[in-house]
Amino acid sequence: MSTDPSKLAFNDGWRYAPAPESTDHVSIDKRYGLFIGGDFVKPEAGQYFDSINPATEEKLARIALAKTADIDLAVKAARKAKNGAWSKMKAAERGKYIFRIARILQERAREFAVIESLDGGKPIRESRDIDIPLAAAHFFYYAGWADKLEYAFPARKPVALGVAGQIIPWNFPLLMAAWKIAPALACGNTVVLKPAETTSLTALKLAEVVRDADLPPGVVNIVTGAGETGAAIVEHAGIDKIAFTGSTDVGRRIQRALAGTGKKYTLELGGKAANIIFADAAIDQAVEGIVNGIFFNQGHVCCAGSRLLVQESVADEVIAKLRDRMETLIVGDPLDKNTDIGAINSRAQLDTIESYLKVGQEEGAEMYQSSCKVPERGYWCRPTIFTGASQSHRIVQEEIFGPVLAVQTFRTMEEGLTKANNTPYGLSGGVWTDKGAKIFRMAQNIRAGVIWANTFNKFDPTSPFGGYKESGVGREGGLHGLSAYVDLEA
């Protein structure tokens, strides 16, 4: 039958009216101090910086800029808590404090979701359904470990490391704080945590939760600032362990800075995951997996499926379906319940993404963007795919950290595997096929820490997460995530 049906049209006719999440139950202070020793205190040097709503470019709050003197105070407070109340307490009691945090987060979940979306630009659907519930679940999971650690390490006695310095990124602000703080506390450490400078608010609200939960002063300290503040934590002699999530470049600098200091570290770094679609996959669900893999959280995801490898015999079909699906993605107001793709986190990140859009076109790949409208103010990027991308292209090799997918094809399983592994990263990978044996072969041979087979971008507190190769050192989550915060004595 030689018909050429016209494309399905998704954008005329019935439209969804704006469905903004209400913000009247949310309070954001004009100015935030540093949370040190159980109280909010002014930064020693008295400097503050702005936190911006990336969807409107409006200022949300002034945030204290922590310098070396402030970090010193925070570390001292953490040390005092470590040597005092926190270590003297029974492990079961320690656990109960962590359970409290989980419960309060659940009670205040919607408020946290709204602030997360205001401050970071992510859609309220994601902050409401994913970030905040998962953060609470992380505290709940690790709370239960506090008095059971000996079962995690057969024939060893796990001992807390001391004071952990924790530096987290802007893509999942509260969730990353939970990933860092929950296991550290469960293992008996105290922490000094620094959120990313563009997304400090939910960490500061978490400080309120910590205070309301009556944790002993100094067990959790939240300090705010940018790279220099982070460096001050890394370099502080009173820190026993650094846990960092962020770019591979910064991770490398931290690993170097820690050389010879005897401090322990875990690093969760960048990625360039291959999402591999075989011809025998459930194609429609695979297309969903592609969408979820690269457009979730504006593509600001270290484990994003940013490289699509699709078997040649189904490549046209997959790409056609992907394009149709992209047309239905709604880009815009992060607080609108129907928004699928929110604001790019910052002007700087938008510049980076846009520079890669140029690079991709100059390299000869074909760029396709959905036709959706984006607001005039704020930082936006339409969902984008590059077809005809090659292994030699920068858009295939480098982490873009935006809603930009590089599409390549392969013929045989071996070729797919070779391309998937042809990267210095190794954080995650996706495999789509109906054949069980092939799943296990692929899962075994992709050199990456998380393999999603017939699914993508799933997270759970019980499930260890972390990278091979330049994607990092150590694991977070699950039983294996405890290792990052203990010494094992005989």
Partner 1 sequence: MASSTSRVPVAKTYKIYIDGKFPRTESGRYFALVDANEKVVANICRSSRKDFRNAVVAARKAFGGWSASSAYLRGQILYRIAEMLEGRREQFVAELALQGQAKRSAKKEVDAAIDRLIYYAGWSDKYQQVFSSVNPVASSHFNFSVLEPTGVVSLIAPDESGLVGLVSNLAPIIVGGNTTVVLASESMPLSAISFAEVLHASDVPAGVVNILTGHRDELTAQFASHMDVNAVLYCDDTHDVAKEVQTKAADNIKRVVCRSGRDWSDAASQDPYLISETQEVKTTWHPIGS
Partner 2 sequence: MPASARFPDLSRVPLVDEVGVNERAARFQTRSIKNESKIEALHLILSMIDLTTLEGQDTPGKVRQLCQKALHLHDALPGLPHVAAVCVYPTMVGVARKTLAGFGIGDAIKIASVATAFPSGMAPRQIKLEETRIAVEDGADEIDMVISRGAFLQGEYGFVFDEIAAVKEACGDAHLKVILETGELGTLDRIRRASVLAMHAGADFIKTSTGKIQPAATLPVTLVMLQAIRDFYYQSGRMVGMKPAGGISNAKLAVHYLVMLKETLGNAWMTPEWYRFGASSLANDVLMQLQKQATGVYQSADYFSKD
* Least distance CB 345 / partner 1 (angstroms): 24
What is the signed CA dihedral for 315, 321, 327, 332, rounded to 10 degrees? -70
Report the alpha-carbon distance of residue 434 to residue 124 in Å, rounded. Answer: 33
Residue 9's binding partner out of partner 1, partner 2, none, with CB under 5 to 8 Å set by partner kind: partner 2
Q: State the CB neighbour count (10 A cutoff) for residue 19.
A: 12
Catalytic residue among 116, 197, 268, 476: 268
Catalytic annotation present for 268: yes
Report the alpha-carbon distance of residue 320 to residue 303 in Å, rounded. Answer: 24
Q: Is 438 in the site for partner 2 (CB under 8 A)?
A: no
Catalytic annotation present for 302: yes
- Of 386 and 465, the one with the shorter C-beta distance to partner 1 is 465
Contacts of 125 (CB under 8 A, 6+ apart): 337, 338, 339, 340
* Least distance CB 165 / partner 1 (angstroms): 17
Of 16, 93, 107, 312, which one interacts with partner 2 (CB under 8 A)?
16
Of 313, 328, 361, 462, which one interacts with partner 2 (CB under 8 A)?
328
Q: Is 237 in the site for partner 2 (CB under 8 A)?
A: no
The answer to whether the CB of 278 falls within 8 A of the CB of 438 is yes
Catalytic residue among 126, 187, 302, 399: 302
Of 57, 214, 249, 434, which one interacts with partner 2 (CB under 8 A)?
434
* Least distance CB 249 / partner 2 (angstroms): 34
Q: Which of 258, 197, 269 is nearest to 52 (CA)?
A: 197
Q: Report residue 433 as tokens.
A: 């096929």
- Of 324 and 398, the one with the shorter C-beta distance to partner 2 is 324
Q: Is 436 in the site for partner 2 (CB under 8 A)?
A: no
- Of 91 and 330, the one with the shorter C-beta distance to partner 2 is 330
Phi, psi of 408 (to 5 degrees): -130, 160
Q: What is the DSSP string of 361-374?
A: HHTTPEEEE-----
Position 79, amino acid: R
70: three-class secondary structure by DSSP: helix
Q: Which of 296, 253, 319, 326 is nearest to 428 (CA)?
A: 296
Report the alpha-carbon distance of residue 194 to residue 200 in Å, rounded. Answer: 8
List the 48-53 sheet strands across, edge first.
31-32, 58-64, 48-53
Q: Is 460 in the site for partner 2 (CB under 8 A)?
A: no
- Of 235 and 280, the one with the shorter C-beta distance to partner 2 is 280
Residue 125's binding partner out of partner 2, partner 1, none, with CB under 5 to 8 Å set by partner kind: partner 2
What's 345's DSSP letter? S
Q: Judged by CB under 8 A, which stretch of 144-152, 241-249, 280-288, 350-358 contacts partner 2?
A: 280-288
Q: Is 15 in the site for partner 2 (CB under 8 A)?
A: yes
**Cα radius of gyration rounded to whole Å, the chain:** 23
Q: Judged by CB under 8 A, which stretch of 56-64, 239-247, 284-292, 459-467 contacts partner 2?
A: 284-292
Binding mask 72-111 for partner 2 (x = CB under 8 A): ----------------------------------------
Of 61, 281, 335, 389, which one interacts with partner 2 (CB under 8 A)?
281
Span 141-160, contacts to partner 2 by CB under 8 A: none
Phi, psi of 195 (to 5 degrees): -75, 165
The answer to whether the CB of 470 falls within 8 A of the CB of 421 is no
419: three-class secondary structure by DSSP: helix
Report the alpha-carbon distance of residue 469 to residue 230 in Å, rounded. Answer: 23
Helices (H), 17-89: 68-83, 85-88
Q: Is 312 in the site for partner 2 (CB under 8 A)?
A: no
Contact residues for partner 1, defined by CB under 8 A? 137, 154-156, 248, 251-253, 255-256, 258-260, 262, 267, 269, 424, 439, 443-444, 447-455, 458, 460, 462-466, 468-473, 475, 478-480, 488, 490
Of 100, 125, 241, 469, which one interacts with partner 2 (CB under 8 A)?
125
Binding mask 329-358 for partner 2 (x = CB under 8 A): --------xx--------------------
Query: Which residues are known to be catalytic?
Result: 268, 302
